[in-house]
Structure 1
């Protein structure tokens, strides 16, 4: 922008100098009137022709500045300068009675063409200085504007030649220029001064609207000089007395200099700009190529040093890229993999299916997808060079280039992970079986201990109480002895009650004698009476007609749940509901206690929940805990009825 301003300063100094000289000439106009041009016609014609040629050059550059992608500004400027050149040519042809034109009206016609051409150039420069909003135009729109401009110019030309008498007079042979013509010159001078002011202001305010390379490039300092020269020339043309006056030649010279300044301000800039842009484009291309090479080298190093294997194949499944890790995983050299079919590193049984998977993936239009992520389904399997197979975890991406589709697979050998997963699954199964076996053994031990307590120790205590009752009936005993025997009887009764409760806790006889329904009823009543918590059981005997193993497991789950309610829930109500269909038994145990956080269910010491979960898992069921602090806890268990007790 500093360069633009320095050019403006030079243009202003030159304009000031020319204006000072012109003002001196204008002041001495009377004394210079005697100086005449000996042969005005050739001089005027030569100067006007040079101006027309320059304006035609401006048209050519503005029209072709952007090729097929024209802008509104370039089209309007091109058409305006072409019309100006045509009208200027008509002015030169009709000047001073050219052959074929009547002498009486030639100067009038010539000056009409002059005013029209100067009006076109003055208004065009003003519009260019104002820099209106620009936009793209199609080739059709550009040619329509060109045709409209040519038709308008032809219309004006025809009007001047055919109806010049109807137009305001511009020249009278005996009087010279008319007031109308001088008024037009004054108006054109004013327009050119306004244009110069706007251009000067924009440069000073650094408002260069042509920094956008998609618009017509102009040199505002040169156009400022052109506008000032045109304004000065209009004054000369307004002051001359006849066509041989020296001021006419001076005015044409200023006009020619103005045309040269316009050429410099528009044509030279737009001729220079493509070469400058081309040089900049070449530099940008070279810079982009260098950056592309750097990125390519960086990507190549990343691929070569990647731990995961990377392979790219084309739509025929031919390997076109492989990194060292991929070659190592398959037991090949990198060069050995290039150019061979992907089927070479796939098991024969998977080749057809894998090829179909890849083809369908390409048809979906997806760009990437995970492959072989499930440990239970290792359909992505590789084959080493020695024939060994190994599982692969991979992801595939797709890209379309130059009309062909390419697939890139990033993969890793997960043999160790698969083996570890299988071992963990085996250990888990063994632990589950061990847990089931321990539960069974524990239940058998409980049943045995409960039976021993009830049948043996219980019978002994009952017999001892019977003997003690007989002893109480003996009259020989003193009162003191009677009291002692009565106390012993109460102790025996308490011992028998406690023994029955312990035996029931270990293994309720109702479970063996009456089934699960009656065992749960007994448990419900005992729980309510012992702890003062209302417990409701919603079930019927038919729903709970199950085998011994399932009956025992369900009873223990309910028993453990009620124990947890007493220990942790601070509840006042418990609801136990059973629902059954031919294939599924579902029951829930809900309380209105304080609930618990989700983390509490995963605590290492939550053995009660762990035991219940293991019992349900042993029956291939589902166990779910729902609890929110302050909203109680609900256990939901679903057991399939298709399995038999042998599964347990």
Structure 2
């Protein structure tokens, strides 16, 4: 009969050798001697004793009680305490680790033998009970969840009725399968990673989602969690519990598609609106502007042809000419606000500079613009989007920020365009950023997302708000 291996944890060498002699006298094998808590954990892992005799007071920061807790939880090996301390506080701490025995020094060989045999027997019974309970719970067929057991290679050992019904297999067929055979190849790395985590720590910290292939070729989505189960006190297999989340995944996909459709619709509406703005701006500038210019020219001709004695009419024509000049400026302003000609004729930088100057003139708020590079050339869609984002950001500052200064930077970094607008106003609160009533911010965010960009909006109370936008630029030759 194979001798039981005992690990001695005792920092007094003479005492440890005495215990070793008593153990060998009573028929046990000594797996080793450790003098500190850390050493005891390491030797337990490498030498695999059947039981640990643990002194409470040890060398180093970790005492015997702490070390025993680690050994019991990590290796499921019984611990019997050996100590000269029997005060209530020590006993209370020791009991919390659920030891399998407690011997007060000094002791006789027979006392040691009895304590060890009782501890080994109790440990065996506990393991048997634990295995029975785990197997019973794992195979509890009335559970609505899918319960399964597979070995460390993913080969199925057992599964409950709910899992078999959902996947369409009979029990015998299921036991011939490997967990990996139900997965797409793209999911295998995550499954392997989770299996390694379970083997290493005993359980899975976060559930996984998998798309499983049924026997009939259809798919279901499940959320799974796994943990180790033991046999004869050793890790034996992985027990998993899965819940069907197919309906949830279908709803998520429908929601994603709906969001995508809404985003595409919003992009289309913005595009149509820009086209309308451009058309209206052109009509106002060309038709109305030209008509006003013609009227001004006619008034000038009439002024020159009018006899000198009609001085009251001279004053009237001068006033009409001044009114026409003012109306022409108004027409130009409205046309520019609808669609700045600079944006189409010269480009984004010129349009941003013009908008910053107009903002400063109109509001009296200082607006400093910094451009890191003049080599910023964008397609029409991106130019329009960035300009409108900038325009809407300034509008929000005017309406809500109570700022006296705005700093704007436009930069090209690698293949990304970055626009940063920072004011010194009262600072936006977090609730307003995600408020569905904040239509201006929603419009900005939608424009950014439509170009696969990123946006950050951060406010600090009484110190202002910073809007940071990053728009990826297409590779040369890519017209998207």
Identify the TM-score tier after normalising by the shorter chain: 0.5 to 0.7
Shift of 1:302: 9.2
Trace 1:509-528 onto structure 2 (pairs within 5 A): 509-528=341-360
User: Quick one: which of 162, 182, 189 aligns to 1:325?
Assistant: 162
Q: Distance in 2 between matches of 1:140 and 1:615?
A: 77
Q: Secondary structure at the match of 1:369?
A: coil
User: Quick one: which of 385, 392, 409 aligns to 2:222?
Assistant: 392
Q: Distance in 2 between matches of 1:453 and 1:359?
A: 65
Range moving further from structure 2, 298-307 or 399-408: 298-307
Q: Distance in 1 between matches of 2:392 and 2:186?
A: 54
Q: Distance in 1 between matches of 2:388 and 2:185?
A: 49
User: Quick one: which of 352, 358, 382 aligns to 1:550?
Assistant: 382
Q: Is 2:203 the counterpart of 1:368?
A: yes
Q: Is the 8 A contact 1:371 1:394 kept in 2?
A: no
Q: Distance in 1 between matches of 2:180 and 2:372?
A: 65
Q: Is 2:269 the counterpart of 1:433?
A: no
Instruction: Tell me the residue number matched to 1:584.
Output: 416
Task: Summarize the Cα distance change of 1:488–1:432 in structure 2 as closer, same or farther, 3 Å threshold.
Answer: same
Q: Distance in 2 between matches of 1:467 and 1:308?
A: 88
Instruction: Tell me the residue number matched to 1:175.
Output: none
Q: Is 2:146 the counterpart of 1:306?
A: no
Q: CA deviation digits over 1:21-51, x for unaligned, max 9?
A: xxxxxxxxxxxxxxxxxxxxxxxxxxxxxxx
Q: Distance in 2 between matches of 1:599 and 1:579?
A: 29
Shift of 1:356: 8.5
Q: Distance in 1 between matches of 2:362 and 2:194?
A: 70
Residue ranges of structure 1 left out of the alignment (5+ in a row): 1-134, 144-211, 218-272, 375-379
Q: CA deviation digits over 1:558-609, x for unaligned, max 9?
A: 1111111111111111111122244222221111111111111111122222
Q: Distance in 2 between matches of 1:509 and 1:355?
A: 54
Q: Secondary structure at the match of 1:368?
A: coil
Instruction: Tell me the residue number matched to 2:298.
Output: 467
Q: Is the 8 A contact 2:229 2:237 kept in 1?
A: yes
Instruction: Tell me the residue number matched to 1:447.
Output: 278
Q: Is 2:187 the counterpart of 1:357?
A: no
Q: Secondary structure at the match of 1:488?
A: helix
Q: Is the 8 A contact 1:543 1:579 kept in 2?
A: no
Task: Summarize the Cα distance change of 1:215–1:618 in structure 2 as closer, same or farther, 3 Å threshold.
Answer: closer
Instruction: Tell me the residue number matched to 1:342.
Output: 178
Structure with more of its chain in strand, by fraction: 2
User: Quick one: which of 251, 260, 273 aligns to 1:420?
Assistant: 251
Structure with more of its chain in helix, by fraction: 1
Instruction: Tell me the residue number matched to 2:399.
Output: 567
Instruction: Tell me the residue number matched to 1:458.
Output: 289
Shift of 1:451: 0.5
Q: Secondary structure at the match of 1:420?
A: helix
TM-score (norm 2): 0.67
Q: Is the 8 A contact 2:373 2:412 kept in 1?
A: no
Task: Summarize the Cα distance change of 1:575–1:356 in structure 2 as closer, same or farther, 3 Å threshold.
Answer: closer
Q: CA deviation digits over 1:303-338, x for unaligned, max 9?
A: 4443321101234644333223212211245x5467
Residue ranges of structure 2 left out of the alignment (5+ in a row): 1-14, 24-101
Q: Is the 8 A contact 1:322 1:337 kept in 2?
A: no
Task: Point out the structure with max Rg over C-alpha.
Answer: 1
Count of matched residue positions in the alignment of Structure 1 and Structure 2: 382
Q: CA deviation digits over 1:481-506, x for unaligned, max 9?
A: 44443433333222212111110100
Q: Secondary structure at the match of 2:456?
A: strand
Shift of 1:623: 1.3
Q: Secondary structure at the match of 2:463?
A: coil
Range moving further from structure 2, 389-398 or 590-599: 389-398
Q: Distance in 2 between matches of 1:401 and 1:520?
A: 72
TM-score (norm 1): 0.51
Q: Higher relative CO (CA 8 A, sep ≥ 6), structure 1 or 2?
A: 1
Q: Secondary structure at the match of 1:544?
A: coil
Q: Distance in 2 between matches of 1:629 and 1:213?
A: 65
Task: Summarize the Cα distance change of 1:479–1:300 in structure 2 as closer, same or farther, 3 Å threshold.
Answer: same
- Give the aligned CA root-mean-square deviation in angstroms: 4.4
User: Quick one: which of 631, 642, 645 aligns to 2:463?
Assistant: 631
Instruction: Tell me the residue number matched to 2:62.
Output: none
Q: Distance in 1 between matches of 2:428 and 2:188?
A: 50
User: Quick one: which of 580, 583, 600 aligns to 2:432?
Assistant: 600
